[in-house]
Amino acid sequence: MSTSSSNSEVEQFMAGLVKRNPHEDEFHQAVREVAESLMPFILDHSEYRKAQILERMTEPDRVVIFRVTWMDDAGNIRANRAWRVQFNNSIGPYKGGLRFHPSVTLSILKFLGFEQTFKNSLTGLPMGGGKGGSNFNPKGKSDGEVMRFCHSLMTELQRFIGEDTDVPAGDIGVGAREISYLFGQYKRLKNRFTGILTGKGLSFGGSCGRREATGYGCVYFCENMFQQRGESIAGKRVLVSGSGNVAIYSIEKAIEMGAKVLTFSDSSGFIHDPDGIDAEKLAFIKDLKEVRRGRVIEYAEKFKGAEFHEGKRPWHVPAEVALPCATQNEISGEEARALLDNGIQAVSEGANMPTELNGVHAFVKAKILFGPAKAANAGGVAVSGLEQSQNALRLSWDHDEVDGRLKGIMRDIHAKCVEYGSDADDGSVNYVKGANIAGFIKVADAMLAYGAV
Ligand code: NDP
Ligand code: 2IT
């Protein structure tokens, strides 16, 4: 199939998608990236085309939208909007996180649910794709306010979820505290103790290693890419963005594997520590972010030599590896070029869709080791899948068992990307193409088998 006919098919497909889903920029962006790498494959496989698989895969099975009313500490009644996007359950119950952030819109949750469908397929586990959340802002709220909000949200959400239906988890703004409040309310309402959420506390059905899984998995994937070239992350300079769950455990694993981590950030700006973050400094970051919920500037006040760059992102600091672990579109096309100009060798995406599409194009064209989110950050949902298995078996595996399985899953995802993304001419791997095609096939074949459902 010629490139120009594939390109015009993509444009035609996207025109229809944009018309059906106006003003959903993030959703358009996520679908376009997938359509660009899938279209030549679909045009070569007429069965997918005839059955309208891509058209059906870009339409969520359903979206639930509801009001969440709660009372703040001053006694005021507050109301937020919440969603659950049940995107595709062809290969298993819907599975994906809940995000609490003021920027949450239907477009963001549709992009995340769409990506999740491919990511979950890549893990090899029986999980469909879903995502949910609210425009609630947990920042600055008391524990009591967060608890009342979570209880109210679950009062409505419980109608739509279940261990064989839809299993939410955490994402931005939803961590151990929020999952605990949500699970407690579900248990009270239904009088059932069952695995309807993942990321639970270790004493009530949570899995060892779930907290660390996304960050560790992101670094394992990066190491797999280096090993493909006979190299390693050891000794490399690493840029991390974010300072939440994914960032913290990416930093931890990168340091453990002998890399030098120079940066981390939050929405106020970034920290540059030219001496590198060590175990003691990481313990400070964990206390700052996981316990005190403070701002990154405190790190520069505590450790000499570290600088705080207000309102900036870390991508102009020279390094060999970048691990974007904060949020979508946090690497612009211009920043991607700056990374390349400074000699970046690998980018492993801990966050979902952190790179703008022209940045993705620049990384792929430069043939650096570019691990797209749906492959590189699949470790989190993979261990969520292991948590579901343990809950169903009513037993729990130890840390080594879970970590061993996580490493194996990340290795398998890497191998699938190589299988479908290798360039026969020069042996390089286009991980974007590989992840999109490998993730697609499993879901598409299930949809074909079901007929017109
Ligand atoms: P957290 O809430 O723990 O941390 C988010 C971090 O990103 C914070 O440092 C936050 O800074 C920063 N951030 C969030 N939004 C923005 C923004 N608009 N601009 C600048 N900085 C921002 O979330 P996670 O670590 O769980 O999630 C991070 C990314 O990883 C997301 O893209 C998520 O979808 C993805 N992901 C998460 C998984 C998980 O298991 N948790 C699994 C796979 C992917 P601040 O506190 O100032 O807002
Ligand atoms: O984006 C993601 O993969 C997550 N936020 C984790 C989802 C999950 O169900 O563990």
What pLDDT does residue 181 have? 99
What is the reported pLDDT for 351? Answer: 99
Residue by residue, pLDDT tens for the chain (453 residues) are 578 889 999 999 999 999 999 999 999 999 999 999 999 999 999 999 999 999 999 999 999 999 999 999 999 999 999 999 999 999 999 999 999 999 999 999 999 999 999 999 999 999 999 999 999 999 999 999 999 999 999 999 999 999 999 999 999 999 999 999 999 999 999 999 999 999 999 999 999 999 999 999 999 999 999 999 999 999 999 999 999 999 999 999 999 999 999 999 999 999 999 999 999 999 999 999 999 999 999 999 999 999 999 999 999 999 999 999 999 999 999 999 999 999 999 999 999 999 999 999 999 999 999 999 999 999 999 999 999 999 999 999 999 999 999 999 999 999 999 999 999 999 999 999 999 999 999 999 999 999 999
Q: What is the pLDDT of residue 145?
A: 98
Residue 31 beta carbon below 6 angstroms from any ligand 1 atom: no
Asked whether the beta carbons of 25 and 107 are under 8 A apart, the reply is yes
Please tell me if the CB atom of residue 387 comes closer than 6 angstroms to any atom of ligand 1.
Answer: no
Residues 225 and 356 in one domain: yes
Domain boundary among 12, 38, 57: 57
Task: State in Å: Cα 180 to ligand 2 middle.
Answer: 16
Give the model's pLDDT for residue 1.
58
Cα–Cα dist 16/93, whole Å: 28
- Quote the DSSP letter at residue 413: H
- In CATH, what number is assigned to the domain containing residue 268? 3.40.50.720
In 3D space, the residue among 227, 207, 264, 271 whose CA is nearest the CA of residue 371 turns out to be 227
Q: So which residues are the catalytic ones?
A: 131
Phi, psi of 88 (to 5 degrees): -160, 120
Two tokens at 385? 């899948």
- Rounded to 10°, the helix 245-256/210-228 angle is 50
Domain assignment present for 436: no
Do 28 and 76 share a domain, yes or no? Answer: no
pLDDT score recorded for residue 10: 98
Q: Which atom of ligand 2 is nearest to the CA of 377?
A: 3
* Biggest CA-to-CA distance, the chain: 67
Contact 371 CB / ligand 1 (< 6 Å) = no
Is the same domain home to 87 and 37? no
In the sheet with 260-266, reading across from the earlier edge strand, the strands are 307-310, 269-272, 260-266, 237-241, 321-324, 346-348, 369-371
pTM: 0.98
- Indicate if 282 and 250 belong to the same structural domain: yes
Question: Which ligand lies nearest the alpha carbon of 218?
Answer: 1
Q: What is the pLDDT, as a whole number, of residue 4?
A: 81
Q: What is the pLDDT of residue 249?
A: 98
Please answer whether residues 406 and 379 qualify as being in contact, where contact means their C-beta atoms are separated by less than 8 angstroms: yes
Instruction: Identify the domain boundary among 17, 38, 57.
Output: 57
Q: Is residue 253 part of a domain?
A: yes
Which of 127, 141, 246 for mutating ligand 1's site (highest number of atoms within 8 Å of CB)? 246
Q: Are residues 181 and 224 in the same domain?
A: no
260 plus 358 within the same structural domain: yes
Determine the structural domain holding residue 329 and report its residue range: 211-376
The token duo for 255 is: 């340091």
Residue 113 Cα to ligand 1 midpoint, Å, equals 16
Q: Which of 57, 79, 101 is the last residue of a domain?
A: 57
Query: Is residue 392 in a domain?
Result: no
Determine contact, residues 428/438, Cβ cutoff 8 Å: no
Mutate to test the pocket of ligand 2, among 108, 171, 218, 413 (most ligand atoms within 8 A of CB): 171
**Encoded tokens for 359:** 């940045």
Residue 77 burial (10 A CB sphere; 0-12, 13-18, 19+): exposed
DSSP assignment of 144-179: HHHHHHHHHHHHHHTTT-BTTTEEEE-BTTB-HHHH
Determine, yes or no, domain membership for 395. no
How much is the pLDDT for 292?
A: 96
Same domain, 163 and 226: no
Pocket-forming residues, ligand 2, beta carbon under 6 Å: 95-97, 116, 119, 169, 171, 198, 352, 380-381, 384
Residues 228 and 359 in one domain: yes
Q: Do 220 and 357 fall within a single domain?
A: yes
> Residue 444 domain-assigned?
no
Q: Separation of 232 CA from ligand 2 center, angstroms?
A: 27
Ligand nearest to the CA of 250: 1
Among candidates 375, 368, 376, which has minimal Cα distance to 428?
368
Tell whether 400 is covered by a domain: no
Which of 46, 34, 37, 47 lies closest to 3, judged by CA?
37
For residue 352, the ligand 2 atom closest to its alpha carbon is 1
Nearest-CA residue for ligand 1 atom 34 is 352
Q: % helix / strand / coil in the chain, to the nearest 5?
A: 50, 15, 30
Residue of the nearest CA to atom 11 in ligand 1?
Answer: 266
Considering the domain architecture, whether residues 123 and 38 belong to the same structural domain is answered as: no
- As for how many domains the chain has, the answer is 3
The answer to whether 285 and 243 are in contact (CB under 8 A) is: yes
Please give the pLDDT value at position 5. 85
My answer on whether 83 and 150 are in the same domain is yes
Assess whether 80 and 153 both reside in one domain.
Answer: yes
